[in-house]
Amino acid sequence: MATLPAAEIRRAVRQGLEEDLPHGDATTTSLFPAPVPARAEILAQQPLVVAGMAAAVQTFLMVDPSLRITVSTRDGDRAKNNDLLLRIEGDGRSILQAERVALNFLQHLSGIATLTQRFCHAVRDYPVRILDTRKTLPGWRALQKWAVSLGGGINHRRSLSDGILIKDNHLALLRDHRRPVERACRSASTRSSHTLPIIVEVESLAEVRQALAGKPDIILLDNMVPDMVRRAVAIIKKRALVEVSGGITLKNVRAMAAAGADRISIGALTHSAPAATISLAMTLARPSRRRRS
């Protein structure tokens, strides 16, 4: 499971609070001129994989270090409907100011982790890995890819520097050359670091054969139906790893795994994961009365 540096969490939290509180909280300030003792509970409203807890805690503490926080579930834990995730006690004004940013982290990242787990569960009987892509929100890539790992997925390239992935638009610039897929693979092998894997995207069985001649590490079958994937796997014969991508859903991912894919990369893990349903409920904290002796 990938780790998320504390500095990355602080950066994201600071950016979120600067965005949401550029000049303070006008509503809370107008209603409560003095501290208001309060308690709040953050609850799961669906089964989910928890992600974003560390960021949520950091959000509350960055707004008000005096808040008292009790963590009931940690990042990577599984939670059921109505499970308590987090309890916060202290000045209600501070809780209100941090609420939306903290929930944004929890809802969005838990949604990614939960969807990833569903995909991994769907192919659990096959020796295949579920991968993410670079289809992430600007500035949130480290967070989103971390959430994928919490759900059991594997991180693909974190940036353009992490591997060679020859895609359709690279090949479009080589169309004047004979056998552009093979040429691209050979060129990448000659001119790049040998520590970087070479992946080439193909869209037909003819391009699969060209790719094999270029000897890439991974052949990415783009937007192919399971039957064509099966035929491509038979042609490749383990001379390269087989990755499948494009149009992957929970309805067809198992068929892709059964067709022989080694890796299945899914952009929807990060760009289309539904936010998890998580709520914050707050109450006024009344001081306890001491019994008279």
Based on the residue annotation, tell me whether 80 is a catalytic residue of this protein: no
Query: If you ran DSSP here, which 8-state letter would residue 286 be given?
Result: P
Residues 107, 135 share a domain: no
Based on the residue annotation, tell me whether 262 is a catalytic residue of this protein: no
- Residue 293 maps to a domain: no
Rounded Cα distance, 42 and 137, in Å: 25
Q: Which of 14, 124, 167, 215 is catalytic?
A: 167
CATH at 43: 3.90.1170.20
Query: How many domains does the chain divide into?
Result: 2
Q: Which of 14, 68, 100, 124 is catalytic?
A: 100
Task: Return the H-helix or E-strand segment holding 78.
Answer: strand 78-79
Based on the residue annotation, tell me whether 215 is a catalytic residue of this protein: no
Please report the pLDDT score of residue 290 as a whole number: 54
Against a cut of 0.95, is the pTM above it? Answer: no
Residues 114, 160 share a domain: no
| CA-closest candidate to residue 113, choices 43, 25, 47, 67 | 47
- Residue 1 maps to a domain: no
pLDDT along the chain (293 residues), means of 10: 81 97 96 97 98 97 98 96 98 98 98 98 98 95 96 94 93 88 93 86 96 96 97 98 97 98 98 97 79 50
Please report the pLDDT score of residue 18 as a whole number: 97
Q: Which of 75, 201, 207, 243 is catalytic?
A: 201
Length of the chain: 293
- Residue 63 maps to a domain: yes
Rounded Cα distance, 204 and 260, in Å: 16
Query: If you ran DSSP here, which 8-state letter would residue 206 be given?
Result: H
Based on the residue annotation, tell me whether 183 is a catalytic residue of this protein: no
CATH at 160: 3.20.20.70
Please report the pLDDT score of residue 3 as a whole number: 72
Q: Which of 78, 135, 158, 183 is catalytic?
A: 135
Domain that holds residue 175: 124-271
- Residue 290 maps to a domain: no
- Tell me if 222 sits within 8 A of 246, measured CB to CB: yes
Based on the residue annotation, tell me whether 222 is a catalytic residue of this protein: yes
Q: Which of 217, 222, 230, 231 is catalytic?
A: 222
